[in-house]
Amino acid sequence: MNDNSTIDLPVFEGGWVWLVGAGPGEPGLLTLLAHHALRSADAIVYDALVDPRILKLARPGARLEYAGKRGGKPSAKQPNISGRLIQLARRKLRVLRLKGGDPFVFGRGGEEALALVAAGIPFRLVPGITAAIGGLAYAGIPVTHRDTNAAVTFVTGHAAGGDVPDDVDWTALSRGAPVLVIYMALKHIDRIAARLIAAGRPGTEPVAIVSKAATPDQRVLETTLDSCAADATAHHIEPPALIVVGETVRLRAGLDWIGALSGRVLDADPLRNRHRRKSV
Ligand code: SAH
């Protein structure tokens, strides 16, 4: 029997793979299922974006295997990672595949899960807080806000081959997406900004670059489409980073709650200049 203070969590059985999102950084943003999986797993296969503080929560004696991929650095190949998960599961271990953010958001979780299906390995999927949601919350930028945007678009700025993705219609996005949150965009920030401007977005449009969100090294740079590429270089912004394009970025002046912890005075009406401009 369960009283109100406990939650029934599923048993992590040997021979299973749990594909789990670890969120953007801060361990407190883990789900209860992710925490349970960390405390139970025999083998944890994690990628580069998983915060080291989270790995410390692993059950003592668990085997930790790095399967990171970071642009430019040697990284495990995707079939190898799936093969490794299958191999560990066939040894009847409880296998935790831990990924940054959410496994299904630009995380290849679908590919790994399909490999498990093909191999007949049972699996569970545990969503995590994706960087665009959690990272922006930590930057004090709402992904939607009634006065700025009724839609938000998550898009990758980096194709599998390493280039700006060709299958993204930047012109259509530029016209139809009031707020863009671009993952993996730092490398191509100059080309992405140029494409958006060429397709009609004003160069003065607010942009935020959110680096290492929800970690002790979080940095947020407020800039504009015209200046974002030069500013990213000048301020030595490091990946992982998100680029946010849109009016919602202005709300940070009122909602930078982390800045407020170190004395930033928040503006309760951060959109007022914009409203004034609209009404004249
Ligand atoms: N599955 C992950 C995304 C993997 S793609 C998720 O749901 O969040 C990797 C990209 O995610 C990075 O290039 C960066 O754009 C973004 N990202 C992940 N963690 C981040 C963090 N803590 N701060 C800023 N960006 C992050």
102 CA → ligand 1 middle, Å: 9
Q: Is the CB of 131 under 6 A from ligand 1?
A: yes
Contacts of 124 (CB under 8 A, 6+ apart): 10, 16, 17, 18, 19
How far apart are alpha carbons 258 and 141 in whole angstroms? Answer: 11
State the distance from the centre of ligand 1 to the C-alpha of 65, rounded, in angstroms.
20
Per-residue pLDDT at 59: 97
**pLDDT tens digits for range 96-153:** 999 999 999 999 999 999 999 999 999 999 999 999 999 999 999 999 999 999 999 9
pLDDT above 80 for 78: no
Say what percent of the chain tops pLDDT 70: 94
What mean pLDDT do residues 199-223 have?
98
Residue 177, ligand 1, Cβ within 6 A: no
Residues tagged active-site: 47, 69, 184
Does a cis peptide bond (omega within 30 degrees of 0) precede residue 239?
A: no
For residues 91 and 273, what is the distance between their CA atoms, to the nearest angstrom?
A: 62
- pLDDT at position 76 is 67
The residue count of the chain comes to 280
Quick check: CB of 239 below 6 Å from ligand 1? yes
Classified as helix, coil or strand, 60 is coil
The answer to whether the CB of 154 is under 6 A from ligand 1 is no
The yes-or-no verdict on residue 157 having pLDDT over 70 is yes
Determine the pLDDT at residue 138.
98
**How far does the centroid of ligand 1 lie from the alpha carbon of residue 89, in Å?**
27
The band of 280, judged by pLDDT with boundaries at 50, 70 and 90, is: very low
Ligand 1: does its nearest atom lie under 6 Å from the Cβ of 102? yes
Quickly state the pLDDT bin for 160 (edges 50, 70, 90): confident
Please state, in angstroms and rounded to a whole number, the distance separating the CA atoms of residues 212 and 239.
Answer: 7
Q: What rounded mean pLDDT belongs to the chain?
A: 93
- The torsion angle over the Cα atoms of residues 161, 164, 167 and 172, rounded to 10 degrees, is 170
Task: Parse the chain into domains and list their residue ranges.
Answer: 4-129, 132-278
Q: Which of 183, 201, 70 is nearest to 136 (CA)?
A: 183
For the domain 132-278, what is the CATH code? 3.30.950.10
CA atoms lying within 13 Å on the CB side of residue 151 = 7
As assigned by CATH, the class of the 4-129 domain is: alpha beta
Residue 168 has pLDDT above 70, yes or no: yes
Residue 3 clears pLDDT 90, i.e. is over it = no
Helix (H, G, I), strand (E, B) or coil at 224: strand
Amino acid, single-letter form, for residue 38: L
- Residue 158 has what pLDDT? 85
Q: What is the rounded distance in angstroms from the CA atom of residue 64 to the CA atom of residue 55?
A: 8
Supply the pTM of this predicted model: 0.94
Nearest to 241 by CA among 174, 182, 178, 158: 182
pLDDT score of 278? 47
pLDDT tens digit string along 260-271? Answer: 999 999 999 999
**How high is the pLDDT of residue 275?**
55
Mean pLDDT computed over 151-160: 91
Decide: residue 200, CB within 10 A, 0-12 exposed, 13-18 middle, 19+ buried: exposed
Answer for the pair 70, 46: CB distance below 8 angstroms, yes or no: no
Phi and psi at 61, nearest 5°, equal 95, -10
Closest CA to 217 of 201, 237, 233: 237
Which pLDDT score, from 0 to 100, does residue 154 have? Answer: 98
Choose which residue among 50, 106, 186, 218 to substitute to test ligand 1 binding: the one with the highest number of ligand atoms within 8 A of its C-beta.
106
Q: Is the CB of 29 under 6 A from ligand 1?
A: no
Distances (CA, A) of 16 to 111, 115, 119: 17, 13, 12
Q: What whole-number percentage of the chain has pLDDT above 90?
A: 86
pLDDT band at 243 (very low <50, low <70, confident <90, very high): very high
273 CA to middle of ligand 1, Å? Answer: 32
218 within 8 A of 169, measured Cβ to Cβ: no
Beta bridge partners, 211, equal 219, 241
Q: And the tokens for 161?
A: 């081959």
